[in-house]
């Protein structure tokens, strides 16, 4: 692994990596341009992610980080060095990756609100003759001016930056089109006849040449600005969440810890914890950092971190992981790793690397604009030259040239993505499916493999009483009442599963007359006058009791299936074996069938042992199983599948799934899981029902299809109308009607997504 540079050296002593925060990008083509410039430097390999606004750069000896920053700035954008690491602690260096940059959403929201409020009356007056009172055109100018100048300022700024570097994007087309419409309207109002009191735009959908002196295009300038700002705002909202997975990971860690100092317990912030410190973890508390148990025995619930439901028994000498929960007795732990060295911090780094390593989603509109914009500008100039050369007069020549820019200005194009996305995501939210942004949709079309985390995704994620095997002459109800009553007094997750299952099947449980926990073996006590033992077979052996042959066989069968076998005895005789395991969800098998119907190949991925994994896979109909995978290795499994040429969707719910969700071509997070997994996913399944995964992919694919249809017709409208504009045959009402029709078509096509139905 290459070393990670935290602060910029004068020159790199050897090949190294640095992560730069990039500012000023407005579209995916900006990221591509920066990446291209950096990669042209000798000894530099760079990946620029538009979504996270970061550049991950590998640079060779002799290159300074300052040189990389200078290259980015010379391209027209900003770059800054990473911040130095914070003080050691659980939220230390790993938290740096989650640091948020300046809030760009608030000014964008302010521009959007201003543009919408001012442009609505401008559009209404232009399109409805009844609203065109005597001086309506001057009110339109008053309302449209702030929209074109203030609202569209980000587009003008980006267009100027792009122009200085010989590039053209959708920002260029928006800026040129809205500016042309506004400037021509100013000329028509002050120097033409458009400012005459009583001037109206009648409904004359005729093709005729005019000198344009009575034509104003303020509604096009203001409306396009408002529409495009709406699209940018919703895109920025989804982009802002890119670092939320890392923040969610850091929130899992403990904030304070009780350390032992000279035999006294002292409460301190986790950031002050040092390697070698001994700290106390009481039942129900989070373990502050990675360490080794010095005193005490307990069961540790690692489900928040690993996603696996079976608790881990720990005793002196065993290692424990920060952010897991002590579910049993009091522990004294010696800290062995802190800050960026902990497993939680390493997993946060994996998530960040996976996010930065994702190829920036290239929006179709930006790809086409790279060719479309220069062609439109060239056509406008050619039109101006042609009419001037043919003696048509300056007014007619400029009218035709400006008409080309105006008709090319993407009103419907601005609506194509945001309207489909808003309707699609709105419908998804009604069905419990949350889609993060437009870039997510492209991934759904390509995926051919779906990797499913076992615990909490295919299974319920909690221990459940699944079976009861009784000795001859023993009543199952008696077993459940006595064992459940005793287990109810224990905090152990397996004990709670037995108690819950017993209460569901027999009703209220009696209160034990005596209770004792036997560390590592089980519990014992007196219930309804019976001396009861519940736990491992070894606990019964200590009381000279053996399981009968039938119960021995039941125990072996349960363990072979990956289940936990719990022995029950009372009054000196072994009476039953209980099977406890993470139960498969009722809908999982049906969900697998639906995923296969979408052309996806399911793979079960889990940290559990192979027997458990294969048992679950058989039950739900999955053929490919990858078991006994360490939490931090799940991302490597996804990378390996991708290296085999597969396009991978990942479905998970645990913190250990977060990096894999980010690395996958499409991440689907179960809404019942941890915040880290949810934030790292591209799609969130609120219901926690795996069948929603199939619905989510269907809805995302349908939304993507709608966007593509919208974009096609938006461009088709532009292409069809450009020759008329170049010929000088476009009057304002014809242009307005055509633009309105294309916009209505786009909106109507998008609204069809409201009829999407889930199959659940």
Catalytic residues: 453
| β 648-652/666-670 pair status | parallel
Dihedral angle sign, alpha carbons of residues 104, 107, 113, 118: negative
DSSP 8-state symbol, 4? B
> Within a 13 Å sphere around the CA of 665, how many CA atoms are in the beta-carbon half?
21
Q: For the CA atoms of the chain, what is the radius of gyration? A: 33
DSSP secondary structure, 16-60, as one string: EEEEEEEE---SHHHHHHHHHHHHTSTTEEEEEETTTTEEEEEE-
The Cα–Cα gap between 387 and 400 comes to 8
Of 1, 757, 711, nearest to 372 (Cα)? 711
Longest dimension (CA), the chain: 114
Contact 63, 74 (CB under 8 A): no
Spatial neighbors of 104 by CB under 8 A, at least 6 apart, are 236, 240
To 5 degrees, how large is the angle CA 94–CA 97–CA 102?
140
| Enclosing H/E stretch for 449 | strand 449-453
The Cα–Cα gap between 705 and 699 comes to 10
* Matching residue, tokens 């232009």: 126
* Matching residue, tokens 């700002």: 229
| Enclosing H/E stretch for 591 | helix 588-597
Of 59, 45, 55, nearest to 16 (Cα)? 59
To 5 degrees, how large is the angle CA 236–CA 238–CA 240?
65
Count other C-beta atoms under 10 Å from residue 40's C-beta.
10
Contact 122, 144 (CB under 8 A): yes
Strand, helix or coil for residue 469: strand
3-state secondary structure 293-316: EEECCEEEECHHHHCCCCCEEECC
Phi and psi angles of residue 222, each rounded to the nearest 5 degrees, phi first: -75, -45
* Matching residue, tokens 């319920």: 460
Contact 500, 490 (CB under 8 A): no
Phi and psi angles of residue 251, each rounded to the nearest 5 degrees, phi first: -65, -20
> Within a 13 Å sphere around the CA of 44, how many CA atoms are in the beta-carbon half?
26
């Amino acid at each position: 692994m290459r070393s990670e540079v935290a602060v910029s050296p004068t020159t790199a002593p050897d090949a190294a990596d640095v992560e730069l925060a990039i500012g000023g990008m407005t579209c995916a083509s900006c990221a591509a341009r920066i990446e291209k410039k950096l990669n042209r430097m000798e000894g530099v390999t760079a990946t620029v992610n538009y979504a996270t606004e970061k550049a991950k750069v590998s640079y060779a000896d002799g290159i300074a980080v300052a040189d990389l920053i200078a290259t980015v700035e010379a391209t027209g954008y900003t770059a800054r060095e990473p911040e130095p690491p914070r003080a050691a602690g659980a939220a230390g260096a790993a938290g740096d990756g989650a640091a948020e940059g300046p809030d760009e959403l608030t000014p964008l929201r302010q521009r959007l609100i201003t543009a919408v409020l001012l442009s609505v009356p401008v559009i209404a007056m232009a399109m409805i003759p009844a609203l065109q009172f005597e001086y309506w055109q001057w009110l339109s100018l008053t309302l449209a001016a702030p929209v074109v100048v203030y609202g569209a300022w980000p587009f003008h700024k980006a267009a100027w930056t792009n122009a200085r570097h010989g590039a053209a994007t959708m920002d260029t087309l928006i800026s040129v089109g809205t500016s042309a419409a506004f400037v021509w309207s100013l000329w028509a109002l002050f120097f033409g006849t458009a400012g005459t009191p009583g001037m109206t735009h009648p409904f004359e959908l005729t093709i005729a040449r005019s000198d344009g002196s009575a034509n104003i295009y303020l509604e096009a300038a203001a409306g396009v600005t408002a529409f495009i700002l709406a699209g940018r705002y919703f895109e920025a909202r989804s982009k802002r969440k890119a670092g939320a997975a890392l923040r969610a990971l850091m929130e899992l860690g403990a904030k304070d810890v009780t350390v032992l100092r000279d035999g006294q317990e002292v409460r301190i912030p986790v950031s002050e914890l040092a390697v070698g410190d001994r700290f106390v973890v009481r039942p129900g508390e989070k373990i502050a950092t990675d360490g080794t148990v010095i005193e005490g025995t307990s069961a540790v619930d690692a489900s928040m971190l690993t996603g696996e439901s079976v608790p881990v028994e720990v005793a002196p000498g065993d290692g424990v992981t920060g952010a897991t929960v002590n579910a049993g007795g009091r522990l004294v732990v010696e800290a062995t790793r802190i800050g960026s060295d902990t497993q939680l911090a390493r997993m946060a780094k994996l998530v960040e690397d996976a996010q930065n390593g994702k190829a920036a989603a290239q929006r179709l509109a930006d790809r086409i604009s790279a060719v479309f914009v220069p062609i439109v500008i060239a056509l406008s100039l050619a039109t101006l030259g042609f009419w001037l050369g043919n003696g048509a007069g300056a007014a007619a020549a400029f009218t035709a040239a400006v008409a080309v820019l105006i008709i090319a200005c993407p009103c419907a194009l601005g609506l194509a993505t945001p309207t489909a996305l808003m309707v699609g995501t709105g419908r998804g939210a009604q069905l419990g499916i949350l889609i993060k942004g437009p870039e997510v949709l492209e991934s759904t079309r390509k995926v051919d493999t779906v990797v499913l985390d076992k615990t909490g995704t295919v299974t319920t994620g909690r221990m459940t009483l699944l079976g009861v095997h009784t000795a001859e002459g023993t009543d199952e109800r008696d077993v459940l009442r006595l064992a459940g009553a005793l287990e109810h007094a224990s905090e152990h997750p397996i004990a709670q599963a037995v108690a819950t299952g017993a209460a569901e099947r027999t009703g209220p449980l009696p209160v034990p007359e005596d209770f004792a926990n036997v560390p590592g073996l089980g519990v014992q006590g007196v219930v309804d006058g019976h001396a009861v033992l519940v736990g491992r077979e070894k606990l019964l052996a200590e009381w000279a009791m053996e399981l009968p042959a039938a119960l021995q066989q039941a125990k072996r069968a349960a363990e072979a299936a990956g289940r936990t076998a719990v022995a029950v005895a009372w009054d000196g005789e072994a009476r039953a074996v209980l099977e406890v395991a993470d139960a498969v969800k009722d809908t999982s098998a049906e969900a697998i069938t639906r995923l296969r119907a979408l052309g996806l190949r399911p793979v079960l991925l889990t940290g559990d042992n192979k027997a458990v994994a294969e048992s679950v896979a058989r039950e739900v109909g999955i053929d490919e199983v990858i078991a006994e995978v360490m939490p931090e290795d799940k991302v490597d499994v996804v990378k390996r599948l991708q290296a085999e040429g597969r396009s991978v969707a990942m479905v998970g719910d645990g913190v250990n799934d977060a990096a894999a969700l980010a690395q996958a071509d499409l991440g689907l997070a179960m809404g019942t899981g941890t915040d880290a997994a949810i934030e790292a996913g591209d799609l969130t399944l609120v219901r926690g029902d795996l069948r929603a995964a199939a619905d989510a992919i269907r809805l995302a694919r349908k939304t993507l299809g709608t966007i593509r249809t919208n974009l096609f017709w938006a461009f088709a409208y532009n292409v069809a109308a450009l020759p008329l504009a170049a010929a000088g045959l476009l009057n304002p009402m014809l242009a307005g009607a055509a633009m309105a029709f294309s916009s209505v078509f786009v909106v109507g096509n998008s609204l069809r997504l409201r009829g999407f139905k889930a199959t659940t």
